[in-house]
Amino acid sequence: MKETLEKLKETSIDLIKNAVNFDELEKLRVRYLGKKGELTTVLKGLGKLPKEEKPIIGKLANIVKLEITDLLDEKIQTLEKKKLEEKIMKESIDITLPGRRLDPGRIHPITKILMEIKEVFVGLGFAVVEGPDVETEYYNFEALNIPVDHPSREMWDSFYFKPGLLLRSHTSPVQVRVMEKQKPPIKIIVPGKCYRRDSVDATHHWMFHQLEGLLIDERVTFADLKGVLLEFARRIFGKERRAKFIPSYFPFTEPSAEMAIDCFACNGKGCNICKQSGWIEILGAGMVNPKVLKAVGYDPEIYNGFAFGLGPDRIAMLKYRINDIRLFYDNDLRFLEQF
Ligand code: FA5
């Protein structure tokens, strides 16, 4: 019996070691350890052995069983490792293939110009404030010295939700909202969207952007206004820019002016960007009307200041040489991808 076991051990170890796949291994497991397997049969026959042989053969049979089991496990692991290695070899990665490009997206030209303009004013000490797009008639008009039936309301006609509530037609209402809440000195800019019942064409859109500026303190002069706005123009359009202020009218500023810069494309000689005039109007501005100051409870004898409103859409058109405002809002990637 001992010899049979030794023989069984030798052959099984040999066969298991040389097995080349899982099928073969499984067959060997069944052949030795299965219900009717060779080793199982030996174990089953233990009972029939003489008493003194039982423990010796029993012990030996169990050792052989353990050895075969361990060897089978070991071989399974070896085969699995080999299988994985073969798979990896077959699926080898070609590191010379060009990678898949991720398009990170771009900043919209209006956002871009707003960022640039904000940076200039923040550098000059202005704080950035925002206000609501849906505005009351009071803030959009009355508080800015534009009473009901005043003809200038037509310039800022907008879309109404119901009487008294509209989409703001400029960012100037935020001047009033801030002054109502804060005491001077005030030094703010207000970027945001505005809405008007303007017919859409190359330079007008029913929705566009504005950036309002307001500075209130004691003894502010028109020279302060000119200094700040000239610095802005030079930082955006080139440090050699010159500016001129043309008398204008806004109910909420007195005196009022349009600021024009000498054309950055032709340096004032005349070209199609400045319509041969050499000058380009870029914003409206003026000294805050004392009536507006009074309406928010400021004493105009002590406080005064200046305000301005510029159109980032038009500034972007000039700076990036875009000839139609609608391009900003068509959402055509062929256009937007250029920025
Ligand atoms: C105003 O809206 C005044 N609130 C500006 C102001 C503020 C003056 C503070 C004085 C003191 P105006 O209507 O001119 O002004 O508009 C200002 C700018 O908004 C224009 O110069 C232009 O750049 C832009 N804008 C006006 N309407 C449109 C439109 N339909 N499409 C695109 N841009 C527009």
Chunk the chain into consecutive blocks of 10 residues (it has 339) and report each block's average pLDDT, rounded to whole numbers. Answer: 86 91 91 90 85 87 91 92 88 84 90 97 98 97 93 87 96 98 97 96 94 98 97 95 96 97 90 88 96 97 98 94 94 92
Q: What are the boundaries of each domain within the chain? A: 2-91, 109-336
Determine the residue type at 60.
Answer: L
Tally the C-alpha atoms within 13 A of residue 123's C-alpha that lie toward its C-beta. 11
Angle formed by the axes of helices 222-237 and 109-123, nearest 10°:
130
- pLDDT of amino acid 303: 98
Which residues does residue 89 pair with via DSSP β-bridges, in sequence order?
Answer: none
Instruction: Say if ligand 1 is within 6 A of residue 175 CB.
Output: no
Ligand 1 centroid – CA 313 distance (Å)? 10
The fold of 109-336 is BirA Bifunctional Protein; domain 2 (3.30.930)
- pLDDT of amino acid 97: 87
Asked if residue 170 lies in contact with residue 232, where contact means CB atoms within 8 angstroms, the answer is no
Instruction: Say if ligand 1 is within 6 A of residue 198 CB.
Output: yes
Asked if the peptide bond before residue 151 counts as cis, ω within 30 degrees of 0, the response is no
Three-class DSSP category at 249: strand
- Pocket probe mutation, ligand 1, options 314, 315, 324, 327, max atoms within 8 Å of Cβ: 314
For ligand 1, atom 31, name the residue with the nearest CA. 204
For residue 272, count other CB atoms closer than 10 A to its CB: 10
Closest ligand 1 atom, residue 213 Cα = 9
Closest ligand 1 atom, residue 325 Cα = 32
- pLDDT of amino acid 216: 98
Q: Which residues of 238-249 are buried (b: 16+ CB within 10 A; e: fewer)?
A: eeebebebeeee
CA 254, CA 307: separation in Å to the nearest integer? Answer: 10
Length, in residues, of the chain:
339
For ligand 1, atom 19, name the residue with the nearest CA. 311
